[in-house]
């Protein structure tokens, strides 16, 4: 994976983190809801869009 793409995804994860922290501080939602949404969105991004997810979570049905 090239450096620009890796940096783009790292910036995206940091953006998700900042949004989650600001939402925790400024809203009346329970922290479990915000944390679960944060983990879900970050996980979906990592597994389906980030190439590093393919290395860590290989598809068991895919033949090599």
Structure confidence by residue, pLDDT tens digits, 48-62: 777 776 666 676 777
Round to the nearest angstrom and report the end-to-end CA distance of the chain.
19
Quick check: pTM over 0.85? no
Q: Given this model, what pLDDT does residue 57 score?
A: 63
Structure confidence by residue, pLDDT tens digits, 7-47: 777 788 899 999 999 999 998 878 888 899 999 998 888 87
Residues 6+ apart with CB under 8 A from 47: 53, 57
Q: Which of residues 3 and 20 earns the better pLDDT score?
A: 20
Quote the CA–CA distance of 58 and 29 in Å, as a whole number.
Answer: 35
Quote the CA–CA distance of 55 and 13 in Å, as a whole number.
Answer: 18
């Amino acid at each position: 994976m090239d450096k620009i793409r890796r940096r783009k995804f790292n910036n995206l994860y940091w953006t998700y983190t900042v949004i989650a922290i600001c939402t925790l501080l400024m809203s009346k939602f329970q922290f479990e809801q915000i944390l679960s949404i944060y983990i879900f969105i970050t996980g979906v991004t990592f597994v389906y869009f980030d190439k590093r997810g393919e290395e860590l979570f290989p598809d068991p049905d895919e033949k090599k």
